[in-house]
Structure 1
Amino acid sequence: MKIAFLLLVIVHGLIHLLGFIKAVDWVQIKDFPIEVSKGSGYLWLTAALFFLIFALSYFLEWKYSWYIGLAAVLVSQVLIIMYWKEAKFGSVPNLIILILTLIAWMNTRFDAKVEKELGLLFASQTNEKAMPHASMDALPAAVQLWLKNSGASAQTGPQKVRVDQAFQLKLKPEQNDWYRGKAVQYFNPVRPGFLWYLDLNILEWVNIRARDLYLDGKGEMLIKLWSLIPMVNEKNNPKIDEGTLQRFLGEMVWFPWMAKSPYITWESVGENKAEAYIQFQGVEASGTFTFDQEGKFRQFQTERFMGGDENAKRYPWIIIAQDHAIHQGIELPTLCEASWILDDGPWKWAIIEILSVDYEGG
C-alpha cells in the first residue's frame, strides 16, 4: 500500500511539473492539453515540489509530513478549479491523497496521545512510597523455584519494562485467518500500570490502532480504524478496571521479580500451582499460575469479564506459554497463546511472540 501511494504522489507531482515546463516553454509538450501562463506556471511548480517533498517525507515516516501533503492538495486543487475543463479528473488523485494524508494526521495525533500517557505512566513512580518486598521464604515453593530458575530471585527489579511483540489476532471466534501486527508494551512494576500499543493491518488498505492502558487503578481500551473511527472506547468502567489489573497480573511473567511485590500475595494450591492476589487502588484481582517441574511458567488462568457492558459475563481467560528464551539474563516465556473459554468452546484469540525485552532503572 505504501509503495502504491508513493507512486501515485510522485506521478501526480510530475504531472504538475509538466505544467510549469510548458509555462516557461523549456521544451515542447504536445500532449499536455492545458495552456499555462507564465504566472500560473509557478503555481504548478509549487504544487509539484509540495507533492515530491511530501512523497519523500512520507517515505521517511516524518510525523509532520501530513502538513506538506495538505498544502500540496490545496495548491493542486486550486489549479484544477482554474483549469476545470481540462484538469477536473485530477481531483480523483487529490481526493485519494487527501484521505490518506488525513489518516497520517490522525496517526500522528494517536501517537502523541500514547506518548503523553506513557509519560504519565512513569511520572506516577515519584509519588509512590517505598514498600518492603516479600522475602523468598514467604512465597509458595513453586513460585520460589520459578524465580530462582528464571534468574529473577535476587532482584527487586528495574523500574521500567518495555516488551516488543509480534502479534497475531482474531477479532471474533468464527474468524479463520489471523491478522498480523506489531505491538509494544510498557510496564510500571513500581506502581502497577501498563500501556500497550498495537498497529495491525486487517486488510491491505485497512489499518487498526489499539491502545490499552492501566493507570492509577483505572483501565482503558481504545481501538480505532485508521486512527480515526472508534471501534472500542471503554473507560471509567469497574469491569474494565478489574480486567486490566488481571492482565497486568498475568503478564508479570515478563518481569518475574514482580512476584515479590507488596501489592501481591500468594497461596499454594498444588505442587506446581499458586494463586496470586493483587490489590491496587481499591481494585482486586486474582489468577492461578501453573509451572512445570523445572519451574518454568506454563499457564495463567483467571475469570475475566468479556467486555464492559452491563451484560458482560466472566469467562476463563488463559495464557499458555509455548516457548522460553533468555532476555537480559532472565528466562521468559517468548511465545504465548491467549484464549477465552466460552460457552460454546475455546476461542484462541491471540498469539504473542516476544521480540525483545528491555529493563531500565534497576
Structure 2
Amino acid sequence: MKRTVSILVSLIAAFSLVKAWAAYQLKSEVKRLFAGSETTTGKYFSHAQLVGLPAPVQRYFKHVLKEGQPYINHVRLRHVGQFKTDLKKGWVDIKGEQYFTAPTPGFIWIGTTAFFTARDMFLNGQGSLKVKLFSLLQVAEGTGPTYDEGELLRWLGESAWFPTNLLPTKNLSWSHIDENTARLRFTYNQLTVTYNVSFNALGEITVMETKRYMGEKSLETWVGRFSDYQEIYGVVVPTKAEGIWRLPSGDHSYAKFQVKVMEYNKPELFR
C-alpha cells in the first residue's frame, strides 16, 4: 500500500513539474515572439490606400475597417471548438489560446483537449508543430521547410482577425480574379505563399483556399472558412473559423473554432 501511494505521489509530482516547465516555456516563447516583432505605431488606415485594388478587396476593407483605424501590431485570443486528430476519427472538444505579431510574421497557438496538447507556431521565420499526450509524452513533432510554409500560410490566413495586416505593402499584394474573388500573395524571407480569397456581398472574407502540405510530402488543397462576423474594438472580424482538407475523396473538415476573447495590442501572456 505504501509503495502504491509513493508511486502515485511521485507521478503527481512529476506531472506538476512538467506542467510548470511547459508554462515557463510558453511564457518565454510568447515573450520572444513579441520582442522580435517590428511595429507600425503611428500608421492609420485610409480609404486612399484602396485605390487600384480589386473591387471585392476594396469592399472588404471598407466593411471591416473605419477611416483612421490604427494598425494592429499584436493580437491575443482564446477560442473553443472541436478538432479531429485524424480525418477518419471523431471530433473532440478543444480550447486554445493564440498570440500573433504583425507586420513581422509570427504566432504561437496552444490547443488543449482531454487527451493531448498541441503547440503550433511560426517564430523567427521557422514553423513547427508539437503534440504531447496528457502534456507529458511527445507523440508528434514537425519542423522543416514544409512546416515553415504551412505555418506562414496559417499566419496569413488568420490575419482576417487583424485585417490591417492584409493591407498592401511591399511584401503583400492583391490581384483580380473576378467580382467576388481575388488572389492574395505574400513574401517573407524568400518564401512566397498565396491564397484565392472569396468575399460575400457585404465584403466579408468567407473562404480562403490554397495549396498546403498535409504532413511533409503530400501537397493538397486546403480551405479556411470564416463566418459570424462581429465588431470588436471597432474592427469587424469573423468569430468562427473552420479548417478543411479538399481531397479527391471530398471535403474533410478537421477544425471548428469559435473565438471567445480577442484583444489587440496587448503583447503579453493571458493570465
Length, aligned pairs only: 264
Change beyond 3 A, Cα 1:279–1:156: farther
Which of the pair has the greater relative contact order for Cα pairs under 8 Å at 6+ separation?
A: 2
Partner of 2:88 in structure 1?
Answer: 174
1:245 corresponds to 2:141: no
Measured after TM superposition, the shift of residue 101 of structure 1 is 2.7
Measured after TM superposition, the shift of residue 211 of structure 1 is 0.9
Partner of 2:163 in structure 1?
Answer: 256
Preserved CA contact (<8 Å) 1:168 1:180: yes
Preserved CA contact (<8 Å) 1:340 1:347: yes
Distance in 2 (CA, whole Å) between partners of 1:271 and 1:337 is: 24
Preserved CA contact (<8 Å) 1:213 1:219: yes
**Residues 234-257 of structure 1: CA distance to partner in whole angstroms, max 9, x if unpaired?**
12x111111111111110110011
Partner of 1:32 in structure 2?
Answer: none
1:145 corresponds to 2:59: yes
Query: Given residue 224 of structure 2, which amino acid in structure 1 is its aligned partner?
Result: I
Structure 2 counterparts to residues 215-294 of structure 1, below 5 A: 215-235=123-143, 237-262=144-169, 263-294=171-202
Preserved CA contact (<8 Å) 2:44 2:68: no
Preserved CA contact (<8 Å) 1:316 1:340: yes
Partner of 2:111 in structure 1?
Answer: 198
Preserved CA contact (<8 Å) 1:315 1:340: yes
Distance in 2 (CA, whole Å) between partners of 1:139 and 1:103 is: 53
Change beyond 3 A, Cα 1:154–1:267: farther
**Residues 91-126 of structure 1: CA distance to partner in whole angstroms, max 9, x if unpaired?**
223323322331221122112111111111111125
**Percent of residue pairs identical:** 26
In the alignment, which of 21, 32, 37 is matched to residue 125 of structure 1? 37
TM-score (norm 2): 0.90
Preserved CA contact (<8 Å) 1:121 1:215: yes
Change beyond 3 A, Cα 1:126–1:345: closer
Preserved CA contact (<8 Å) 1:162 1:187: yes
Preserved CA contact (<8 Å) 1:328 1:357: no
TM-score (norm 1): 0.68
Partner of 2:256 in structure 1?
Answer: 351
Partner of 1:113 in structure 2?
Answer: 25
Query: Given residue 100 of structure 1, which amino acid in structure 2 is its aligned partner?
Result: I
Query: Given residue 95 of structure 1, which amino acid in structure 2 is its aligned partner?
Result: I
Measured after TM superposition, the shift of residue 328 of structure 1 is 1.4
Change beyond 3 A, Cα 1:210–1:277: same
Measured after TM superposition, the shift of residue 230 of structure 1 is 1.2
Measured after TM superposition, the shift of residue 324 of structure 1 is 1.8
Query: Given residue 121 of structure 1, which amino acid in structure 2 is its aligned partner?
Result: L
Change beyond 3 A, Cα 1:361–1:168: closer
Preserved CA contact (<8 Å) 2:43 2:71: no
Change beyond 3 A, Cα 1:100–1:257: same
> Helix, strand or coil: the match of 1:125?
coil
> Helix, strand or coil: the match of 2:173?
strand
Distance in 2 (CA, whole Å) between partners of 1:144 and 1:273 is: 12
Preserved CA contact (<8 Å) 1:274 1:289: yes
Distance in 2 (CA, whole Å) between partners of 1:303 and 1:153 is: 34
Query: Given residue 245 of structure 2, which amino acid in structure 1 is its aligned partner?
Result: W
Distance in 2 (CA, whole Å) between partners of 1:292 and 1:93 is: 61
Distance in 2 (CA, whole Å) between partners of 1:127 and 1:183 is: 25
* Stretch of structure 1 that moved more, 340-349 or 89-98: 89-98
Q: Which has the higher strand share?
A: 2
Partner of 1:322 in structure 2?
Answer: 227
1:100 corresponds to 2:12: yes
1:155 corresponds to 2:69: yes
Query: Given residue 17 of structure 2, which amino acid in structure 1 is its aligned partner?
Result: W
Distance in 2 (CA, whole Å) between partners of 1:326 and 1:132 is: 18
Q: Which has the higher helix share?
A: 1
**TM-align CA RMSD:** 2.4
**Residues 204-261 of structure 1: CA distance to partner in whole angstroms, max 9, x if unpaired?**
xxx31211111222111111112221112112x1111111111111101100111115
Distance in 1 (CA, whole Å) between partners of 2:185 and 2:111 is: 28
